[in-house]
Each structure stands twice: as structure tokens, then as C-alpha cells.
Structure 1
Amino acid sequence: MPVSVVRFNLVDPAADPAALSARYRAAVDMAAYCDEHGVDSVQTEEHHGVDNNWLPSPFAFAGAVFGATRRIAVTVSAIIGPLHDPLRLAEETAVLDLISGGRLVTVAGIGYRREEYEAFGVDWHRRGKLQDELLRTLLAAWTGEPFEHRGRTVRVTPRPFTDPHPLLLVGGSSRAAARRAARFGLPFFPSAYLPELEAYYREQLTAYGTEGWTMMPGAETPLLHIADDPDRTWATYGEHFLHEARTYASWQSGDIHSAVRSGAASVEELRAEGVYRVLTPDEAVEYAESGRTESLILHPLCGGMPLDEGRRSLELFAESVLPRLKD
């Protein structure tokens, strides 16, 4: 059975603070519903200063989800590592790991939007060195023992719940990212289906004498919405899918590889591409059982989707798709 994931980035292009508050609270309620209905993971992410209010604080959201759930994992995929203070991040992730009993998964990438670095006053050209420092600091900090950091001896407490440390993956689509993951002996999370890069990572594990594994999106990793009438859903809500697709497209240069990559300029083109798919419950079951995917990623609030439609999609997924797969 494919892994089931429900994704939240809390985008809402037109929302005022009251509407955004309702969206955030609805997402936490939906995560609790996921927890009760056997969904494997909630996935969230980090972007800053986006006009459509893209979630900038994934760990704060993760904490709210952990407070409302007992079983489900939260995957932060991904943080923009160089924008974080390493010691503070070590503390925050340790506390979340303790609160959740080991349900936090963090993917650390370096991002691809220069404006985010500029907003935080971080040198874009030092991002690789800053990412190395971040990973090195996290691994040292989570031991609970004193270590050297920027010329002084420091110690981070408390230690995390997970031994030896919370699950941390290195994300990216470059050879530098693969080498970095291998050098630190950390799992690698390619941002798209990149089997040649996965093979390179394994070569680098051998070269560095480290161990690791890959969590890579499949050749097909569509973002799903479940509806009884896909034609009506595309006609009524297609602009929400297109909004997110166009936002991603505006950020991605030719050397950026992403599982969410669209060249569509219209709802009709987006539907034909298959990056975003609206499926009936029967079609979703058939797709899951086809062997073409290792994960089912539901995106119920995509692009500012109305809350009631997002909830309908989630309930169809949890009550009309997942139970049939488990049976």
C-alpha cells in the first residue's frame, strides 16, 4: 500500500488575518482527523515573504499538529537550512521531538529563492557553507554534550526523544547536496525523481565510508484532490490548482528539479499535464493499486481552496479510499 500523505502549505492569496486564522485552525483540525483515520503523515514546508501567504513557520505549525494528534508523523519538507540559527533550530526540533514522541521528520534544503536570503540578510553565496555548519551543529547539539561552535564551547539541552537524533534528511537536486548527505552520513531526499543522482549519492556513501538511504519521489508523484465529480471540481476550483502551479513555476529556473513542476498557462493545460489530479474515490483506489506510485499525496487546501471543499476531499480520501486499500 502506498504511503498516505496530506500536505498543507496554508496558501491563501486573498485572505485577511481572520480568514487566515480560520484556515490555520481548520488545517490543524484536519490533521487531527487524519490522525484518527490512519493517514501516515502530514507534510508541510517553508517559504517567506510570498504574496499568497505561504506558510513561513513550519515548526510552529508542526507543534500545533502534534498537540492535536497522537500517532501521525509530521514531515517538514523542506526547511531552508541557512536561514535558521543552528542552535535555536537544534533546541526547537529537540522540543518538538520530545512533545511528539519521535514523530518529527525534517528535510533540510538550501532553497532556490534569492529574495528569501536577502530578506534575512543571509549571503546567498555562502549557502553551502552555512548548510554544512547547520548540519554539523545539529548532530553535535543533539548529543547533549558540550561542543565547539563559532569559537566557543556550547551545550544544547534537552536531548531529543529519538535516539540518536530526530530524523533528519538532506534535501536537494544537485550533486553537492548528494555529497553533503553522504559526507554527514544522513539520508538523502532528492526533490524529484532523479535516479542518476540517487546512484551518485550511493557512490559518495562508499567514498566517505558512511551509511545512508534515499527517500525519493517516484516518477509519478501527483498532488491529488478527491471528488465525486472531477469535471465539476476542475471547472469550479481549477484556478486554485493553477495558482499554486504558476507560483512554483515562477520560482523554478532551468537547473531546479522539482516533483511539482508545471508549464501550464491555463486550467485545461494543467489538467492535461497530470501534476495536479482530481480523482474519484474509485480512480484513486485504482491508481494506488496500479503500482505506479509509492505515495498518495492529498493536497486538500491547495492554492487557497475553500475550507468546505478541502474537507470534502479529505473525508473522501480517508473514508472512501484508504479503508479499501488497507482491506
Structure 2
Amino acid sequence: METKPNEKRQTLRFSLWSDGRTTLGQPVTMETYKELIDEIVRADQLGFHGLWVSEHHGFQDGYLPAPFLFLAHVAALTEHLRLGTNILLLPLWPIRLLAEETAVLDLLDAGRTTLGLGLGYIPHEFAAFGVHLKHRKKRMEAGVTYLRAAFRGEPIPDGQNGASLVVAPLPAQGARLPIYLGANSEPAIERVARLADGFLAAAFPAVNFEQELKERWSILKSYLPKYDRDPSNFPVVLSMHLWACDDPERDWNTFLARAIAYQLDVYAQLSVSPGQPQPPKIDPGTLDRSRFLVDTPDNLVKRLQAIQSEIPISEMCFWSHPPGVPHDAVVGNLERIARQVMIAFR
């Protein structure tokens, strides 16, 4: 897509988002990771900005439980992609271990790490790690403070009997290592403005996700100046599905609607406390394609430009391999986005 004379072109970075799954409910295998790594390496060659991975535990289909190990392997096989977590469940982690894992990854990938954090919400995960759900906000606040001090190289008073103890090694980026936070509610968005270097804005399949994002951005924009942050220069990462093809209805009906319904079902089922009734499964036929970024390349460019006119998103983070979508179709989507969508935002 060409830019007209005197028309201002807004930049937008495009990054992959992976949860370590490729199938509809089947266990993760060596082939699963082989396919994912092949797609990620191809994305590095195609000029994508980064790879974000998310973390969950106790999913029967093998949702990625070890984000740092996965990213360390990717670091050895790529040259350009920034590597981040979107999101890592900070309240479940021993905070010293989290600081050390982050620093080691940042050294291995030569300063390409962004640490994206969230509170978590699934009851069985907190039970498995011995953390009470009611403590998650307190652990987040204290955890980010700890990480900042650790990355600055300050001794932390968590040694024996409260003695100061160094956190080593230091990350390659040192204190500049970015920490982003995810948020939906106003108190959580205020925390983003106060503590974070960027906002991980996950779009949910609402009737009008653009309006939801606009409302969250309005809240964030109102808080940023209170903490001496510049709203015009604060990274906002839009995280959702993105699929470019010449026949959107064909791909939607062939595999995408089913893949998205499966993802939504798994999240809904696992957020229910033990003993509570499970929600009914989603019929893929009831999903509305217009609620997702599934369209022709030209239409995707127009829609993303419209979103940018309302919300200053700086990065588009998309599920690169929705469950059940064939590997060759995933690679084709990456190539179309790189050659027909990304070019409009450089």
C-alpha cells in the first residue's frame, strides 16, 4: 500500500505471540516445538520486531509453563527479534529467581529482553505454587520494586537474617531492561502508569474491542502525567489475533473460528473455582469475524490505521499459531503480514 504525498505514515511494530500450543487439545510433543521454532526463525528472517510468550501451568494441552527456557532456545537461533513475556505471572515466582532468570536471558540474547508481567487469576495455579490469590497485588507491587533494584545492581536485604545479598548476574541492559504490565481494571491501569515502561493491552472478543481499548487508553492517559510520564511516548502493545488472507471467510470457517473458540473455552474453564459449574462450550459458528483482525491485507492496514488514529499503539502482538491451524498456513500468514501489512507502517 502506497502512502499519498504529504500523508503522515504512523509506524507500528509487529511481533509474534505464542503460548507453546499448536493443536486443539492434543499434548505438546517435540514436533510442536519444532514447528513453533521453525515459524519463529522464519519471522526473524522476515523482519518482525519480536516474540512474546505467555505462561500458564496445569493445562492438559501443554500451555507453555517454562517461558525463560523457551526464549533462551529462541535466542540462540535468532538475531533480531526482541524476546519478551506477555505475560509472566509474577505473583507465582520467587522474586529473586525471577530477577536471575531475566538477567541470564538478557545476557544470552544480547540485550533483547522485555519483561512483561501480570497478576494471574486462575485458582489452581495459585494453589499449586502455594500463593493465595488475595496476595497477588501486594506481590506485584513489591516484586516490581525488587526487580528495579536488582537490575540497578543494588544489594537486596533478603540474605540470611536480612543481610544484603547481591543479585547476579546483571542483565545486559542493566536498569534499562523494560518492564511492561498488563491491565484491565482502573486500579491495574494506574499501576501501569506508576510502575511500568509500557502497557500490554490484550484485546478481548467484545462486540467492539476498539471501544474497550479506547476506554482503557483514556484511563491510562489520564494517569501518566501524574507520574511524570509522557503519554505521547509511552509504549502500548495491542495483543490479539491477526490474520491476513485473500479469502477471510474461507480461513475463518476452515480453521480460525474453531481455533479461537478453543482458546476461549480453555481460558473460561480454567478460571472457574473447583466445585463450580463449568461454562458451556462456545459454538465456533456463533463467533463474529468482525470482532477479530481477520481480513485481507489491505483491509487490515485500514483497520489498524483507524485504531492508531484513536489509540497510539506502538506494537501489534498477535497469536502466531492459533491451536489447530496447520503449520504451512501459519507460515503463509507470517509472509503475507510481512510483505503486505507491515510495509504500510514502516
TM-score (structure 2 length as normaliser): 0.78
Change (3 A) 1:187 1:286: closer
1:274 to partner: Cα distance: 1.6
**Contact residue 173 and residue 197 of structure 1 kept, 8 A:** no
SS of 2:175's equivalent in the other structure is coil
1:308 corresponds to 2:325: no
SS of 1:303's equivalent in the other structure is coil
**Counterpart-to-counterpart distance in 2, 1:308 and 1:163:** 39
Q: Return the letter of the residue paired with 2:72.
A: G
Does 120-129 or 297-306 show the bigger shift? 297-306
Match among 147, 152, 161 for residue 172 of structure 2: 161
Match among 7, 18, 42 for residue 8 of structure 1: 18
Aligned residues: 308
Per-residue deviation, residues 2-39 of structure 1 (Å, max 9, x unmatched): 2212221122343345xx32121221221111111111
**Contact residue 298 and residue 314 of structure 1 kept, 8 A:** no
Match among 255, 260, 264 for residue 241 of structure 1: 260
Q: Return the letter of the residue paired with 2:219.
A: L
Match among 261, 279, 282 for residue 265 of structure 1: 282
Match among 91, 100, 103 for residue 94 of structure 1: 103
Per-residue deviation, residues 191-250 of structure 1 (Å, max 9, x unmatched): 5520343045326516xxx889643456xx651122332222122213112211333344
**Counterpart-to-counterpart distance in 1, 2:246 and 2:298:** 9
SS of 2:307's equivalent in the other structure is coil
Corresponding residue for 1:226? 244
**Counterpart-to-counterpart distance in 1, 2:290 and 2:185:** 25
**Contact residue 186 and residue 211 of structure 1 kept, 8 A:** no
**Contact residue 151 and residue 174 of structure 2 kept, 8 A:** no
Q: Return the letter of the residue paired with 1:292.
A: I
Pairs within 5 Å for 1:1-327: 1-11=11-21, 12-17=23-28, 20-149=29-158, 151-184=162-195, 186-191=197-202, 193=213, 194-202=216-224, 204-205=226-227, 214-216=234-236, 222-237=240-255, 238-250=257-269, 265-275=282-292, 277-288=293-304, 290-293=305-308, 294=313, 295-323=315-343, 326=346
Corresponding residue for 1:257? none
Identity %, equivalent residues: 26
1:64 to partner: Cα distance: 1.6
Which stretches of structure 1, 4 residues or longer, exceed 6 Å deviation after superposition? 210-213
Q: Return the letter of the residue paired with 1:241.
A: I
**Counterpart-to-counterpart distance in 2, 1:160 and 1:297:** 24
Does 236-245 or 188-197 show the bigger shift? 188-197
Q: Which runs of 5+ in 2 are unaligned?
A: 1-10, 204-212, 273-279
**Counterpart-to-counterpart distance in 2, 1:211 and 1:282:** 32
Change (3 A) 1:233 1:78: same
Structure ranking higher on relative contact order (CA contacts 8 Å, 6+ apart): 2
Q: Return the letter of the residue paired with 1:202.
A: L
Per-residue deviation, residues 110-145 of structure 1 (Å, max 9, x unmatched): 111122101111111111222223212211222223
Per-residue deviation, residues 25-54 of structure 1 (Å, max 9, x unmatched): 221221111111111121211111123321
TM-score (structure 1 length as normaliser): 0.82
